[in-house]
Amino acid sequence: MKKSLLTIILLYAVYGLVLYFYLFFWTGYELPKGIEGTAADPKTFLTAEELQLSENYSQLKNLVFFISIPLEWIIFFIVLSFGISKTFQQWAETASRFFIVQTALYYFWLSLLVTLLTLPVSWLNYKLSKDFQISTQTLNSWLKDEVTDFLVNYVLMAVVVTFLYIIIRKFEKRWWLWAWFASIPFTLFIMFIQPVIIDPLYNDFYPLKNKKLEEEILQLASKADIPAEHVYEVDMSTKTNALNAYVTGIGSNSRIVLWDTTLNKLSEDEILFIMAHEMGHYVMKHIYIGIAGYLLLSLAGLYIIHRLMIFCTNRWGKRLNIQSIRELSSLPLFLLLLGMLSFASSPISGIVSRYQEKQADLYAIEMTKNEEAAVKTFQHLAKFSRSEINPPKIVKFLRYDHPPLIERIMYIENIKNKE
């Protein structure tokens, strides 16, 4: 096992070096031919210093992102192979004879350990955002959000893990199917309560203060047959200089939300374009399509995890200190496989998401008839959020759920040229 761990660490080091050279030396940020001097050329809306900062920030953020992904997998492997998971299970069983309590205690120790070991990566992301003037958040505020994250995730996941292992113990051969059935109402419930319970734990939400702007947005909503009564703004300026807006929730709890940074830094026409974009997601039912796609992928994923857990337990159970998948100590193996499969499926979800974002852009242009505002919006996103203009192909393929800004500007410019 020590030899296996040493091999994994060496492979991880090689992976990090290859990644570093790829991001910093083997890929350039050259622009496609034919866009020099156009609205898509970053030199027309960014200073040389801003462009350099955007490139440096993107390189470092991408490096941290890709390095952090296998780090959690390695942690789960160590927790299994060195008997840490087995020890946590023994502590939980000693503390209580009730399985629900055992699960809550076991998962607390596991989640605390993983959180502490990955905290340096979270801090590095925060430090990068601070150094590149994206984050305005104080260290105390950041730590408060980290603690809130831990508690919220712990409570939700403790419930999930408890039900998961109750199902595994009751339906060992078909647990993946019953777990999938149970995940459907739980997913919908989380989506429903997120805007009104979870999100307000981090920030204050309130109806848009600018009533004239709200009236114009609601007029757009009326044209799109969206039964909206309020547009919400959230006080993100205490944490970031970045711009954002989004649609969240389902049913009667659906919300269109604007960051106050967006309100402070964009013109009214640009804000109306963003709102029309978010309405496009609502009209085209992208949230529901996303939920359906997630559920279909999760069904296939749970079945694959079931087969792989059986295989790993039969072949390496002794090395991993797992006698059966019914044991709580097998949870790190489940999470390890889940993380790998989630990463493997990210290109598929990314392609779907980028397509939906493009459709929402086109819907917003059709709704507002203002291509100029659309172009300016994307240029401001690059300026204030240090968004990557033209990412390397592998980065786009594995990480991007929105089309790169250069693509978004280019297809809007093509629309303008056809008119």
What pLDDT score was predicted for residue 10? 93
Q: Indicate which residue of 214, 233, 327, 361 is catalytic.
A: 361
Could you read off the pLDDT tens digit of each residue along the chain, which spans 419 residues?
678 888 999 999 999 999 999 999 988 767 777 788 889 899 899 999 999 999 999 999 999 999 999 999 999 999 999 999 999 999 999 999 999 999 999 999 999 999 999 999 999 999 999 999 999 999 999 999 999 999 999 999 999 999 999 999 999 999 999 999 999 999 888 888 888 888 899 999 988 989 899 889 888 888 888 776 778 899 999 999 999 888 777 766 777 889 999 999 999 999 999 999 988 998 898 988 988 999 999 999 999 999 999 999 999 999 999 999 999 999 999 999 999 999 999 999 999 999 999 999 999 999 999 999 999 999 999 899 888 888 998 999 999 999 999 999 999 988 877 76
> pTM (2 decimals)?
0.91
286 is in an annotated binding site: no
Q: Where are the domains of the chain?
A: 2-202+285-418
Please say if 371 is a catalytic residue.
no
Of the residues 278, 327, 371, 388, which is catalytic?
278
Give residue 340's pLDDT: 96
Give catalytic status of residue 278 as yes or no: yes
- Token pair 């994307």: residue: 378
